[in-house]
Amino acid sequence: MFTGIIEETGKIKNVKKGIKSCIIEIEASEVIEDVKIGDSIAVNGVCLTVTKLTKNSFAADVMAETMRETSLSEAKNGAYVNLERAMKMNDRFGGHIVSGHIDGVGTIVGKTKEDNAVWFEIKTKPKIMKYIADNGSVAVDGISLTVAKVSDDSFSVSVIPHTRSKTTILNKNKGDIVNIETDMLFRYIEKLMNYENKDKKVKSQSNITIDYLIENGF
């Protein structure tokens, strides 16, 4: 599990591509201080397992499914990525619960400055938009952000200077692809609400709806 609070940005040192997968090596310092082989590091929000360590880098395998569903398919030498180690149970919880399992990608369709903030509008698929709620949480390239606006096919976030200085988001522009992970709570709620009793073939009855949960702060 992660929190969406980026610890540092790393630089892609090498991408060794296979037929459908790749091995990615990333230069870093802070996130490898107490990491060992087998530990998890989120790279642009994607949970990867450390398979190799040096004094200033780590490597991880990226499987075919991850290449298909995330922006790591576009990883290039010299590009910068957001990095976060798996959370510790005794740490402060500054962001929100992030699993590192990406729901899909979105495209930046708007970038505007407003005083000390920068607005990003991100367009994505309906299967992701149904889990995006006003004032809810979303992870964009692994960054925990608050959803400020929602339309039929896009959502907007307002990014403060500190977040821009500690992550790669300021380097993103219109047309760029970003990884999106929605709040996992919505997925479990949907599963429970739509659960069908396989033995009785009777759909579970519940008065709880998505509108009800949003109205009550979930």
Q: Hey, what domains does the chain have and what are their CATH numbers?
A: 8-85 (2.40.30.20), 104-182 (2.40.30.20), 184-218 (no CATH)
Model pLDDT, residue 88: 83
Per run of 10 residues, the mean pLDDT along the chain (length 218 residues) is 95 96 97 96 98 97 97 96 91 86 97 97 96 95 97 97 96 97 85 64 58 66
pLDDT at 210: 64
The pLDDT value recorded for residue 95 is 86
Q: What is the DSSP string of 91-154?
A: S---S--B-S---EEEEEEEEEEETTEEEEEEE--HHHHTT--TT-EEEETTEEEEEEEE-SSE
Predicted confidence (pLDDT) per residue in 142-194, tens digit: 999 999 999 999 999 999 999 999 999 999 999 999 999 999 887 787 777 77
pTM above 0.85, yes or no: yes
